[in-house]
Structure 1
Amino acid sequence: MTQRLAIGGSTRVVALLGDPVAHSLSPALHNAAFAALGLDWAYVALRVRAVAVPQAVAGLHALGFAGANVTVPHKQAVRACLEHVDDDAALTGAVNTIVVEADRLTGHNTDVEGFRRALRSVAPEGVAGAEALLIGAGGAARAVAVALLREEVGRLVVAGRTPRRAEEVAGLVAGLSPSTPVRVVPLDDLDGEAVRSARLLVNASSLGMPGAGKVPRVLVDNVGVDHVV
């Protein structure tokens, strides 16, 4: 039997801001963690339309939320709403965590270091000098691009559905590491050779999520046992 949360007048609330959020496992994960730690906290997923992002962010402070996580497609939009951010949020232009303090909201980006930890768990030998194929051009992709530079990849290909945003990711890479070759490919033009030549494949897009479209067949057909995915 599923145990229901005991929510009262003193319960602190944490939110997930995104669109869509119905598929998210974050409420189950965080509420289980809060219960294990004995915290009188509750985690809720809130669907926020793009036009309502500024009001939603301001509402966190007004309503006394403890904080929030931010998911697609709002990570960059939320960054624009915050005056105080950590170094990685400033660098990537994207926020995935908001901490509500007494006099301000502070944005953080934990995607960069979170991705590096995950990558090291599947590729403990490292990826220095390797070619990476990055699918996506939003806030998560920007964080992954920075993480890949810190892991010293040798070459990066950015494949996005929106060419302008993919070029912005490439510009971020070029600005941080001019010596790292970076190439932009429209996702619809991605071919098997680009997939096969990469050692590391990262899907930092919403593709594969409910209602967001399927992962391109060219990726599925050309992934091999030597790829780090």
Structure 2
Amino acid sequence: MSNLQQQKFDLVTQNLRKWQGREEWFFNRDHTDTYELWYEGRYKRAEVWQKKVIGDLIKKDGRVKTLLEFGCGTTRFTRWWKEIGIEASGGDISPFMLGQGAHLFDGDLVLADSHHMPFKDHTFDSLAFITTFEYYKDPVKVIREAVRVGKYGIVFGMMNRNSPKVARRRIQQAFGKNPFYVTATFYTPAKLTAVIDEALKGRDYTIEWTATGLPKWFPVQQWSQPYGDFFGLHVRLNDVK
């Protein structure tokens, strides 16, 4: 990269650091460069159950063959969709995360803002947000963009507010540790449903969700109670053919 190209890249990333008017961890290479390692270590078991929950939901809508995952990051989940028969593309606002994804994923990727998706109406069958929707300051606008671009609906993978880990994260932040959730808004299934209802007023849709992220010793690992570290939620649009 030439000096001029480096200067332009630095200028872009400096502007992005204040995306939504605040500092975000995914514009800090100290954090993004180690993102993949999380899932290869202590979060490996959680990832298995998260994928099961999301897959169980989206596969119920047989219309979904193509999908855009926004906030795809390093494409950790984007690479997985093909395992359940869905052709995926990815989008993200972080050049650092997306730069890693470009080396790991052989599909299409776009550097863009979720509030202004650079796609025509109904380009994809569905949209997906996996542990990224928590960082949007205007979630209603993002949902409306998602159903514009995704013809049949949206699938969410969410960090659950009804989890003891939320309290632990906030305590860590008070001591200057764990910067990953400082700007995150934690949702419950009910809270996310309320946002969806506001965004999709007048549309015909159904919502289904299930939760996971329960202790290893718990007798079930996936259930229809709003408790656990993670929940998946699917919005199926019924007013399109």
TM-score interval w.r.t. the shorter chain?
0.3 to 0.5
- Using structure 2 for the length normalisation, give the TM-score: 0.40
- Using structure 1 for the length normalisation, give the TM-score: 0.41
